Structure 1
Amino acid sequence: MSRSHPSRTRLLLSGAAGVCAAALLAAGCSSDSDSGASGAPTDAPNQVAPAAAASNGGDALQSAYQDTVRNVLPSVVQITTKSDLGSGVVYDDKGDIVTNAHVVGNATTFQVSLATGGSPLAARLISSFPANDLAVIRLTSPPGDLKPAKFADSSKVSVGQIVLAMGNPLGLSSSVTQGIVSATDRTVSESSDESGGGTGATIPDLVQTSAAINPGNSGGALVDLDNEVIGIPTLAATDPQLGSGAAPGIGFAIPSSAVKRIADQIIKHGKVTDSGRAALGVTVRGVVGQNFQPAGVAVVAVAKNGAAAKAGLRAGDVITEVGGDPITTVQSLTEALTDFKPGQKVKVTFTRNGATRSVEATLGSL
C-alpha cells in the first residue's frame, strides 16, 4: 500500500496545545521538590500548585474544544439521498455545500439537514469530480442565517496538530470525535464497491488523522482548534485481517486547499477545468504475465490529442514503467502519475509486438 518517493510518503500546533505546554511548565516550576529545595514559603506570591496548574491547562484545552464545536458545527450538514446519507460542509452563503463524490453517488437531488435544526432543505447537484472524490450541491432556497465554514491553508497543517472530525457517523447527527494529524501527503486508493463506498479513485496529498472516521462522516469537516476546516474526511483505512473492518485510528481527509481549488471551479464553471493533476490520456486495463502475476497495463484507447497520442502510444501497447516507477496494475499507473504535474515531461516504457520501447510524453491534465 505504501511506496517511497523523494517528495512524499505514499499509502493505499494549535493555541490550545501551547496552553497545555505552558501548564506543564508551570506545574514543573511549582513542584513540591522545587519548593523544598529553594526554601520558598508555600504561600509565596504567583506560585501555583501542580494540581491547580494541570486543572487550569485542562480547562483551557476543554474550552478550546468547545469553542471550536460552537463555531464550526453549525456549518456541517447531513446529506440524504434515496439510498444513503453522509455529511457536507457549507461553503458559502449562496447555499453551496461541498461533500464527497461518493456521498452523492448517482443522485442529483438531496435533502439537507442543518445542524441548527429545522425541516430538511432541498438541494441539487452542481457537479461531481470523482477523481478527487469531491462534489458540490446547492440548496434550492438557502436560509438567511446559513453559516459558511472557514477553510484553512492546508499546506500549513502539521503532524501532531489537534483536530476534531465533525459529521453524521452511522446517522448520529452532529457528532464530534477528536484526534491529531497523524501524517500528511498520503496517496490512497479508495474502494469502488458498495460495502467500502468510494469512487475507486486514487487521491494524492491526503491528511491522515487518528480522529475516528466512520460511515456517514464522509463529506464532513476535519477541523483545527483555530476553528478552520483543514480537510474533508473521505475514508478510513481497512485492516486486511479484518476483511472490510476499519483499522482503528487511521482515517484520511482531502486537504482543504484541494477542496477550495476544486469547489471554486465547480461553482464558477459548473465543472472542473483544471484539476492540477497529470494525465496520460489513455484508457487502460490490467494484464498478467505467464505466471499470472500483474505485468503491466494494456492501452485500450488513446485520447485524441492527449499526451499518449502525441508521444506515439497506441491501443495494444502495454505500459510497464512511467517516470522510473514500475507499472504492474491500473492503480500503480494512477499512483505514479500523482507524482507529476500537467506539462511535465515523463519517460514512458512499454512493449509493442514483444519489443520494449520508450517515449517521452508531455503530460496533460486529468
Structure 2
Amino acid sequence: MKNKLLLVFLVFVAMFFSLAGGALGGAGVMYFAINEGIVDGMLPLGISSGSEPSISLEQEDEVKNLVVSSTEIQTAITSTVAGVGPAVVTVVGRVLDQRDFFGYASESQVSGSGVIISEEGFILTNNHVIEDTSQLMVVLANGEEHEAVVVGSDRFADIAILKSVGPVPAIAGLGNSDTLAAGETVIAIGSPLGDLKNTVTVGVISATGRSLDSGRGYQLTDMIQTDAAINQGNSGGPLVNLAGEVIGINTLVLRGSGISSTSAEGLGFAVPSNTARAIADQIIQKGYFARPYLGIRYQSITPDIASVYGLPVEWGVYVAQLDRESPAAQAGLQRGDIITKIGDQTLDDSHPYINALFAYSPGQTIQLEVVRSGKVLNLPIILGESK
C-alpha cells in the first residue's frame, strides 16, 4: 500500500514540474521574442487571452501623432489651394494657321495656365503657351474673362510675363526653390485640356537640378521633377509648397524616352521659382530679359558631323557667319573658326554652346578657345546684350 501511494506521489510531482517547466519555457521564449523585436507583444494566432489586446501608452502616442500629422497635411493642402487657387488663371490665345492655296488663313485656339504674381496684374506663364499668338485672354478662377498682353518672354527658360487688364482677384507669392528637398509635398494647379480650370493634383518633389534637351539646340537646366500629375493645359501653372508659395512653373511632362517604346508616368518638370523670379523682375522693369550675345551664326559639331566633314574636333560650334560690329567680330573671330571652349566650359554633348554662353552675363569679359587652321587660339571677348 505504501509503495502504491509513493508511486502516485512521484507521478504527480513529475507531471507538475513538466507543466511548470513548459509554461516557464514558453514565457521565456515569448520574452526573448518581444525584446529582440521579433513580435510586438501580440499573442500568437490560436491562443486566446482573458483580456483584450492593448496598446502601450508609448505606442498609443505614436499612433496619435501619425493621425495628427496626416490631418495636418490634409488641412495644409486644402488651405493652400484655397489661398493660391484664385490667383491661377487659364491663358487662351489665338494663332493664325498657315495660309492655304488661296491665301486664306484660319485661326486656331491654344490654351495653358498662369499665375498672378502682383497687384498690377502681372502673370507668370510659359513662353510656349503664348508663342506665336495674335490675341490673348485670361480666364479667372471665378469664370471672368480679361484681356491680356505679353510684356516680355525668354524662350530659353520657357518663361513669359503677361499683364491682365482688369481687377486682380488674388496674388501668389514666390518661394525659394533653392531650399527644396526630394520628398517634399507639392501641389500643381492648372487647367488641363484648357477646360478643366483650377484642377488640383498632389505629389512630391522627385528630384531637383534636372537637365532636359529642348530639341532646339540647348538644354532646359535646373528643372524640378515632380510626380504631381501635369497634363496638356497645365503648362504655365504654379507648383506650390504647403506654405502656399509658388516654387515652380509647371512646364512639361515626359511620356517616354524618345529612343524606345518604353512609356513612363509621373515625370513632370517645372521651372524653379528663383529662375522665374529673376526673369520676371527684369522683364517687368525693362520689358525684356537680357542674355549674353556673341553675334555669330553657327553649326553645332558632333562626332558624326566631324567624321563626315573631316573636322579636327568632335564637339564645338563652326562659325558660319558673323554679325557686323558684333562682339565676336570685334574680338577677331573669323568665319570657319571652331569654338571649342567658352570661358571655363568645354563644349560637349552635356554642355551645348547656348548653355555654356548663358552661364555668363552681358558685359563680362571671357576667353574663347578657338581652333583655326589646326591651331588653338584663345581670344578675349566682351559679351554683348541680346533682347
TM (norm. structure 2) is 0.71
Contact 1:285–1:299 (8 Å) recurs in 2: yes
Change (3 A) 1:238 1:42: closer
> Displacement, 1:201?
5.2
Alignment partner of 1:223 out of 231, 237, 240: 240
Which residue of 2 is the match for residue 170 of structure 1?
A: 193
Change (3 A) 1:209 1:279: farther
Partners of 2:317 and 2:261 in 1: CA distance: 27
Partners of 2:123 and 2:179 in 1: CA distance: 24
Which residue of 1 is the match for residue 86 of structure 2?
A: 74
2:296 equivalent to 1:282: yes
The number of residue pairs the alignment matches comes to 318
> Displacement, 1:66?
1.0
Contact 2:296–2:320 (8 Å) recurs in 1: yes
Which residue of 1 is the match for residue 75 of structure 2?
A: 63
2:189 equivalent to 1:204: no
Which residue of 2 is the match for residue 133 of structure 1?
A: 158
Q: Which moved more, 1:173-182 or 1:347-356?
A: 347-356
Partners of 1:247 and 1:312 in 2: CA distance: 48
Partners of 2:298 and 2:61 in 1: CA distance: 67
For structure 2, the 5+ residue unaligned runs are 1-38, 44-52, 95-108
Change (3 A) 1:357 1:225: same
Deviations 1:18-38 (A, max 9, x none): xxxxxxxxxxxxxx95899xx
> Displacement, 1:263?
1.6
Which residue of 2 is the match for residue 113 of structure 1?
A: 139
Which residue of 1 is the match for residue 377 of structure 2?
A: 357
Which residue of 2 is the match for residue 88 of structure 1?
A: 114
Which residue of 1 is the match for residue 14 of structure 2?
A: none
2:336 equivalent to 1:312: no
> Displacement, 1:324?
5.3
Amino acid at match of 1:148: I
Alignment partner of 2:321 out of 262, 280, 301: 301
TM (norm. structure 1) is 0.74
Deviations 1:165-204 (A, max 9, x none): 1111223321122222233233333245xxxxxxx65333
> Displacement, 1:333?
1.2
> Displacement, 1:241?
5.1
2:151 is paired with a residue of what secondary structure?
Answer: strand
Q: Which moved more, 1:335-344 or 1:44-53?
A: 44-53
Deviations 1:61-116 (A, max 9, x none): 1111111111111111111112311111112122221111110011142121112x
Which residue of 1 is the match for residue 204 of structure 2?
A: 180
Deviations 1:264-302 (A, max 9, x none): 222232222x45xx4444331224223469643211333
Contact 1:155–1:257 (8 Å) recurs in 2: yes
RMSD: 3.3
Contact 1:297–1:328 (8 Å) recurs in 2: no
Partners of 1:331 and 1:84 in 2: CA distance: 33
Q: How does 1:153-164 map to 2 (within 5 A)?
A: 153-164=176-187
Give percent identity, aligned residues only.
34
Contact 1:238–1:244 (8 Å) recurs in 2: no
Partners of 1:88 and 1:231 in 2: CA distance: 11
Partners of 1:318 and 1:286 in 2: CA distance: 9
Contact 2:203–2:228 (8 Å) recurs in 1: yes
Deviations 1:218-237 (A, max 9, x none): 11001000000011111223
Which structure has more relative contact order (CA 8 Å, sep 6+)? It is: 1
Deviations 1:144-183 (A, max 9, x none): x520111112222233322111111223321122222233
Q: How does 1:37-52 map to 2 (within 5 A)?
A: 48=60, 51-52=63-64
> Displacement, 1:48?
3.4
Partners of 2:206 and 2:219 in 1: CA distance: 20
Change (3 A) 1:201 1:244: farther
Q: How does 1:245-256 map to 2 (within 5 A)?
A: 247-256=264-273
Change (3 A) 1:359 1:365: same
Which residue of 2 is the match for residue 98 of structure 1?
A: 124
Deviations 1:5-24 (A, max 9, x none): xxxxxxxxxxxxxxxxxxxx
Contact 1:286–1:330 (8 Å) recurs in 2: no
For structure 1, the 5+ residue unaligned runs are 1-31, 193-199
Partners of 1:50 and 1:316 in 2: CA distance: 71
Partners of 1:158 and 1:149 in 2: CA distance: 21
Partners of 1:245 and 1:341 in 2: CA distance: 40
Structure showing greater radius of gyration is: 2
